[in-house]
Amino acid sequence: MTPNRPYDEERLAELLRALPPAPQGWVEAAQELPRVPRELDGIVARAEADAEFRKALIADLEEALKAEGYEPDLMPLDELRRLLEES
């Protein structure tokens, strides 16, 4: 052990193994993270190409997403609103 590194990799692994497992909800949320940016980009691209879709999103974002098969509860709606305003 060096003064700047009080734990080596083996000790860190030991400490991590001692932790309880992450709650299932955390695991599921982490698994969804890579999907979200792609999905948001796709929605914004479609809104740029489809004026009617864009109008529906602006009028009622959550309902327009539901109508297209998206799950608004699983999306960062504030981020999507920001992206739509910027586009």
Q: Could you report the per-residue pLDDT of 47-59, keeping only the tens digit for each? A: 999 999 999 999 9
- Which pLDDT belongs to residue 42? 95
> What is the average per-residue pLDDT within 40-47?
96
Instruction: List the end-to-end C-alpha distance of the chain, in Å, as a whole number.
Output: 52
Task: State the pTM of this model.
Answer: 0.65
User: Which amino acid is located at 72 in the chain?
Assistant: P
Q: Could you report the per-residue pLDDT of 10-35, keeping only the tens digit for each? A: 989 999 999 999 999 999 888 888 88
